[in-house]
Amino acid sequence: MSAATPIIPYDDLNLGKKEQVKKMFNTIAGRYDFMNRLLTMRIDVLWRRKAVNLMKKYPHDTILDIATGTGDFAIEFMKLAPSKITGIDIAEKMLEIGREKVKQKGLSAKIELLEADSENLPFADNSFDIASSAFGVRNFENLNKGLSEMCRVLKPGGRVLILEASEPSKGLFRKPYKVFMTKICPTIGGVFSENKAYDYLNKSVAAFPSGKKFEAELIKAGFTNTQSIPLTLGVTTIYIAKKEEAGK
């Protein structure tokens, strides 16, 4: 994923990746949850549940969910009974839907959703026990800067939890997966939402440094104890890493 040739949603707009991603998610916000459930057959719900369950053994009183979108990951984290969850996103239309979901579930006292830039987080150093992102880091304009910001705002010993789309590396499933991502997914997206968004999905997943390559990016950003856990034949991966404790 070269900085000189970023994967962007719109080839015909003279905007940087961050502004293009913001425009795209504001455009598809009303159909975002529906499309997630349709294209994954609701398996995305199970992915989030598994990822959150892996955090039970770590401190989790304060949680920051980055690129929170409509708030699904933030809401799932309530199962850990933290004292506070803060979700941030650059797309205000997505946040509006998320805030309504939080309100309907009676969670407004525990979950706050704010418009903010993942690469310039408006929080002090060492503020959170967990920094998370579900299907968001792929959209960072500067991957290292976004990951470094996650590390900065974590408390020493805190964990980063990232759930991200990935490509099956081998096996019989790889070919049908490619057909689904390159043909079926954009077609369905064109019927129910915006075709460009789901064409971008395919291209951005293909370009993303998944598995050990992404673990290397986490280490470069300041994390240690990295691990990756493939899910559903490798179409999604959970990443966990630690911010080193002071003096170690």
Q: Where are the domains of the chain?
A: 17-169+208-243
Ordered alpha helix ranges (H), the chain: 17-40, 43-53, 72-76, 92-104, 143-153, 174-179, 185-192, 195-207, 212-220
pLDDT in tens, 97-153: 999 999 999 999 999 999 999 999 999 999 999 999 999 999 999 999 999 999 999
Contacts of 235 (CB under 8 A, 6+ apart): 165, 166, 167, 168, 177
- Report residue 202 as tokens: 């395919």
Q: Return the minimum-mean-pLDDT range out of 36-50, 132-146, 179-193.
A: 179-193
Question: In this structure, are strands 154-165 and 128-134 parallel, antiparallel, or unpaired?
Answer: parallel
pLDDT of residue 3: 43
With tokens 């968001």, the residue in question is 136
Q: Is the pTM of this model over 0.75?
A: yes
* CATH architecture of residue range(s) 17-169+208-243: 3-Layer(aba) Sandwich (3.40)
Q: What is the CB neighbour count within 10 angstroms for residue 85?
A: 28
pLDDT of residue 77: 98
pLDDT of residue 174: 82
Q: What span, in angstroms and rounded, lies between the C-alpha atoms of 43 and 164?
A: 13
Alpha carbons within 13 A on the beta-carbon side of 169: 9
pLDDT of residue 193: 81
Question: Stretch 199-227: mean pLDDT, rounded?
Answer: 96
pLDDT of residue 222: 97
